[in-house]
Amino acid sequence: MSRRAVESVPVLVVGGSLVGLSTSVFLGRLGIEHLLVERHAATSTHPRGRGNNLRTMELFRTAGVEQDIRVAASALTGNDGVLQVSTLSTGDRRWIVKAIDTDTPLGGDTPLSRITSSGWCLCSQNDLEPVLLRHAQALGGDIRFGTELVSFTQDAEGVHAEVRDRDSGETRIIHTQYLVAADGPRSPVRERLNITQSGPGALFHNVSIMFRSKKLQDVVGDRHFVVCYITDPAGEGALLPVDNREQWVFHAPWAPDRGERLDAFTDARIVAHIRAAAGVPDLDVEVIAKAPWHAADRVADSYGEGRVFLAGDSAHEMPPTGAFGSNTGIQDAHNLAWKIAAVLRGWAGPGLLDTYETERRPVALATTARALFQAGEEQHPGYTPEKRKDDPADALTVALCYRYPSGAVVGTDPDAAIVPDRFQLGGAPGSRAPHLWVTTRDGRRISTLDLYERSFVVLTGPEGEAWRTAARSVSARLGVPVEGYVVGPDHDLVPENGADWAVPHGTTQSGAVLVRPDGFVAWRSPSLVLDAERALTETLMTVLRRETPPNAVAEPRRTTATGQPLATAPDERV
């Protein structure tokens, strides 16, 4: 009997869709060696989830992926808004949402560029996944399609997984420190861990149909929508453009709970339904593909166990409206990636990984409330929710203003709402750090958000230069990457148009904010303190769950690109 091949890798990612590939990109950007396995043979061919919100695009910008995504999404650049009609050929129309991404989303005269470095992007999953795949591979990710996870166990040494090549049947044993399960709503990993879920469960079911029609463009005309809901009973459903020319997707109501079979959706039935939706009896319709599509509201009661973590749909299912599910999943991956990197590199204690669930699960619960409300507002086919007495926060507030009242943060309000009632970004600990356009010493125009990826960052004003000095000292003593910047005229970062950096960050010119690698504020000080080095040291020790006493002197831990410690001389302290 031949022995199975054995491999070792710091991180194993299971699932190669949007969240899994994003995890690979984020780990790759941090130099963490990893293996990703995906049971399907290639990336998605069906244009599924496609709305990428402002926060997700900020993350893709920092990761160097944004511009390629916008090129892939160019066919839908001009599409905006959510439309409702009885049929496409009738004159009635109602814009449920006239514009998703506006130049002044907060109203008044506040431009979008004042609150974010990026903007909403409509990129279908079949176009987005290949972009992420290319970047993941270029960053060193070992991506294996057609490979499935068979089983896994874990112990104090790590996770031991068996994977199988679906073509050859060959199996391999993978030894890894951590396993990230981005394996979808029916997550086999979650089931093997016996992690339960909470929530209403299934909400509605659709059949997602990809079809081609050359004449439908004439019927649609100049209405370049993101989605159009058709209310006529004979053609009820949702129409989504793929290329604004001849490729389209239609979501038709489906009732499997009443015994309706998927094979009842024959091509003839689909063609008749789409013609009724268009109001054109002889419309040319060529069915290309169809797939079942289930909307649900479920959140895992735990986001993992031991060295195994859930991300994306394996951790939470949300209604599709607003694309909150995919965006929340990508942001899960970003939160988890830097924490895994910090632990692997030795500058954080294992307890930092416990904050992944502490921070991300409440966000999923709060975001679901907004997704449910929007599904009702848009009258998604097959779904009639109960009306809420209170409207949840708007989509922009949900995307940018959610916060972590507890976790890898210091000085937060533990009773603060996860999502505030109104848009507010003020640099409070636990919130996404404010965006500010600045010029660097070498003349580059960047967003402050671009600084946050591979290290902690301390920002201070001209009266707080001692914070920058302290940051360098603490970084050397604790072996933690910490960069310090003075913000102001003739300093490290010069705000555009003379903007005041301190006000949006909720501090003063002598104060400081400590920002995590994921762009969330870990802590802030309203002014310069007597012992800035000690304050930063104690804060980082708390945030990173370090057990070493604050007064201990530690040399920076040197690591390989995989996060493994370099060999040291017998007398070298690590």
Q: Please report whether residue 95 resides in a domain.
A: yes
Q: Are 129 and 447 in contact (CB under 8 A)?
A: no
For residue 356, give the 3-state DSSP assignment: helix
Where does the pLDDT of residue 569 fall: very low under 50, low under 70, confident under 90, or very high at 90 and above? Answer: very low
Domain range for 450 is: 437-543
Pair (192, 220) in one structural domain: no
Asked if the model's pLDDT at residue 369 lies above 70, the reply is yes
How many CB atoms lie under 10 A from the CB of residue 302?
16
Residue 316, class by beta-carbon neighbours within 10 Å (0-12 exposed, 13-18 middle, 19+ buried)? buried
Query: How many structural domains does the chain have?
Result: 3
Closest CA to 229 of 251, 197, 198: 251
Q: Please report whether residue 516 resides in a domain.
A: yes
CATH of the domain at 12: 3.50.50.60
Pair (33, 177) in one structural domain: yes
Where does the pLDDT of residue 424 fall: very low under 50, low under 70, confident under 90, or very high at 90 and above? Answer: confident
Pair (312, 262) in one structural domain: no
Q: Please report whether residue 233 resides in a domain.
A: yes
Structure tokens, 45? 């061919």
Structure tokens, 278? 């268009």
How many CB atoms lie under 10 A from the CB of residue 75?
17
CATH of the domain at 512: 3.40.30.120
Asked if the model's pLDDT at residue 556 lies above 70, the reply is no
User: Each residue of 132-170: b (16+ CB within 10 Å) or e?
Assistant: bbebbbebebbbeeebbbeebebeeebbbbebbeeeeee
Q: Which residue has the tokens 């203003």?
A: 401
Q: What is the pTM of this model?
A: 0.92
Which pLDDT belongs to residue 568?
29
Q: Are 176 and 187 in contact (CB under 8 A)?
A: no
CATH of the domain at 278: 3.30.9.10
In degrees and rounded to multiples of 5, residue 206 shows phi and psi of -130, 160
Percent of the chain topping pLDDT 90: 74
Pair (383, 303) in one structural domain: yes
Pair (179, 307) in one structural domain: yes
Name which of 48-57, 70-79, 128-137, 379-388 the model is least confident about.
379-388
For the chain, what's the residue count?
A: 574
Beta bridge partners of 308: 179, 305
Where does the pLDDT of residue 111 fall: very low under 50, low under 70, confident under 90, or very high at 90 and above? Answer: confident
Which pLDDT belongs to residue 3?
62
Pair (322, 392) in one structural domain: yes
What is the distance between the alpha carbons of residues 506 and 427, in angstroms, rounded to a whole number? Answer: 6
> What's the whole-number mean pLDDT along residues 396-417?
93
How many CB atoms lie under 10 A from the CB of residue 193?
19
Pair (81, 189) in one structural domain: yes
What distances in angstroms separate CA 43 from CA 38, 72, 141, 145, 373, one per listed residue?
9, 14, 15, 8, 31
Pair (67, 206) in one structural domain: no
Which pLDDT belongs to residue 555?
39
In degrees and rounded to multiples of 5, residue 3 shows phi and psi of -80, 145
Asked if the model's pLDDT at residue 187 lies above 60, the reply is yes
Name which of 123-127, 144-148, 387-391, 521-525 the model is least confident about.
387-391
For residue 227, give the 3-state DSSP assignment: strand
Pair (51, 138) in one structural domain: yes
Which pLDDT belongs to residue 1?
39
Which pLDDT belongs to residue 2?
47
Q: Please report whether residue 454 resides in a domain.
A: yes
Q: Please report whether residue 240 resides in a domain.
A: yes
Output the 3-class SS for 89-138.
Answer: CCCCCEEEECCCCCCCCCCCCCCHHHCCCCCCEECCHHHHHHHHHHHHHH
Q: Please report whether residue 571 resides in a domain.
A: no
Pair (305, 265) in one structural domain: no
Pair (274, 205) in one structural domain: yes
Q: Please report whether residue 550 resides in a domain.
A: no
Q: What is the pLDDT of residues 453-510, one digit of tens each?
A: 999 999 999 999 999 999 999 999 999 999 999 999 999 999 999 999 999 999 999 9
Pair (109, 129) in one structural domain: yes
Q: What is the residue-averaged pLDDT of the chain? A: 90
Q: Please report whether residue 431 resides in a domain.
A: no
Closest CA to 53 of 292, 377, 401: 401
